[in-house]
């Protein structure tokens, strides 16, 4: 059995609550859409035990597992809307620059 990545105690309460909501959403949508657990597991390539952990909101399950389940069930964009590009569309190689008021030659 793989080692759990996160223990519940190490996760901030807001994150833990969001995972529980996602897990509850996954279970509710799976049942409402009449998707057997075995079918969802097979489609995702996970074990039944992993799906049970996800449906409980276990933080040890990978983020990709949660997001894949939400995608398959058709609720990904509602449960986890895309981030505004201004938060991630900057150059990854951009260097920090001093504020315009600081003209220190020894900066960096």
Establish if 1 belongs to a structural domain: no
Angstrom CA distances, 105 to 51, 97, 100, stand at: 56, 12, 13
- Examine residue 28 and state whether it is found in any structural domain, yes or no: no
The answer to whether the beta carbons of residues 19 and 66 sit under 8 Å apart is yes
- Note whether residue 13 is domain-resident: no
**Rounded Cα gap, residues 4 and 85, in angstroms:** 32
pLDDT above 60 for 22: yes
pLDDT in tens, 23-47: 999 999 999 999 999 999 999 999 9
pTM of the model: 0.75
How confident is the model at residue 93, as a pLDDT?
65
In whole angstroms, give the CA distance from residue 35 to residue 33: 6
Q: Per the domain annotation, does 67 fall within a domain?
A: yes
pLDDT at 100 over 80: no
Instruction: Evaluate whether residue 53 is within a structural domain.
Output: yes
Residue 61 belongs to some domain of the structure:
yes
| Per-residue confidence band for 92, with pLDDT thresholds at 50, 70 and 90 | low
* Domain-located, residue 85: no
pLDDT at residue 58 tops 80: yes
pLDDT of residue 108: 59
Q: How many domains does the chain have?
A: 1
Domain that holds residue 39: 35-75
Residue 59 lies in a domain: yes
């Amino acid at each position: 059995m793989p080692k759990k990545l996160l223990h519940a105690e190490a996760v901030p309460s807001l994150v833990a609550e969001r995972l529980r909501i996602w897990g509850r959403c996954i279970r509710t949508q799976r049942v409402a859409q009449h998707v057997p657990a075995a079918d969802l597991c097979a489609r995702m390539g996970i074990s039944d035990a992993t799906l049970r952990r996800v449906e409980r909101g276990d933080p040890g399950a990978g983020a990709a597992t949660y997001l894949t389940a939400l995608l398959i069930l058709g609720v990904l964009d509602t449960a986890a809307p895309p981030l505004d590009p201004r938060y991630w569309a900057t150059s990854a190689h951009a260097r920090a620059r001093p504020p315009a008021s600081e003209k220190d030659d020894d900066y960096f």
